[in-house]
Structure 1
Amino acid sequence: MEDSTVIHNTFQIERKLKASPERVFAAFADEAIKRRWFFGGSPHAVEHYELDFKVGGRERTQKKMEPGTPVSGKTLVNETVYEDIVPARRIVTAYRMSFDGKPFSASLATIELVPAGSGTDLVFTHQGAYFEGADGPEMRKGGWESLLDKLVKELGESA
């Protein structure tokens, strides 16, 4: 039997935003807005993207990884299911990532948008299971920190 390992990890990232919960929510729900901040500046070629933002809906991304990276030339697929959505308050997703068809992680991500005066406290909680060959918890956290910084800039604020 092949030796298999799973690393479990939970982390949380918070951002204090000047934007209203409705505006922050729209940055996740509106495909054009999400494309700008989610893929903007990425060196990897997006080959396919679809977003069906509703409970039970799916989001699917397929990227070809650029040369000069440890995963050069591989195809990365991220398949997401929206488990719960409360407009301007909460988004819960379950997602699986794979390289060339081989899964390397499965995660549950919760985005909470808490009204704070005229702004929003965004609380992102990530629970992950990382399989053999996975990027691991620290790289995943760094990736999400970078994505949330891009979201902050999309909203016209300083990261």
Structure 2
Amino acid sequence: MKRETLFLKTTIILMGLPVLALCIFAVPGIANFAVELYPDMAYLKYLIFLVMYSATIPFYIALYQAYKLLSYIDKSKAFSQFSVTALKKIKYCAIAISSIYVVGMPLFYLIGEKDDAPGVILIGMILIFASFVIAVFAAVLQKLLRNAIEIKTENDLTV
């Protein structure tokens, strides 16, 4: 099992690298592009920074919680309250990411409308939907894990 969790831990780390690269290289370009589209609204640059960078905070927290969850699996503590807590935090992070992009959707609309690129709005909708799906999935896993822990506790008390 350690080999599989090591692979997943590596994957989690590799998932964080493209987001970091996007934050360093793409977000400033997007913000400057928005200011070029709307020169009279220079504050759009800071709103884009706020939306994009604030969404990365819960993303990295969720990655860290997923990493911790894999560590619990390595330590044979998969069916513990720690795992339920990690899944709960992942669910809240996914909800936060989705909420941040819902609030920032007017920025996607402004850029897509002025640039005549409906794909920008579609990208925003995909980010919202993907985060929401992850939140629902984490909630289902959290509930299943909680039920499994209760069954395990009842069986331990019975035997």
TM-score if structure 2 supplies the norm length?
A: 0.30
When Rg is computed on C-alpha atoms for both structures, the one with the higher figure is: 2
TM-score if structure 1 supplies the norm length?
A: 0.30
Q: Quick check: which one's strand share is greater?
A: 1
Q: Which has the higher contact order (CA 8 A, sep 6+)?
A: 1
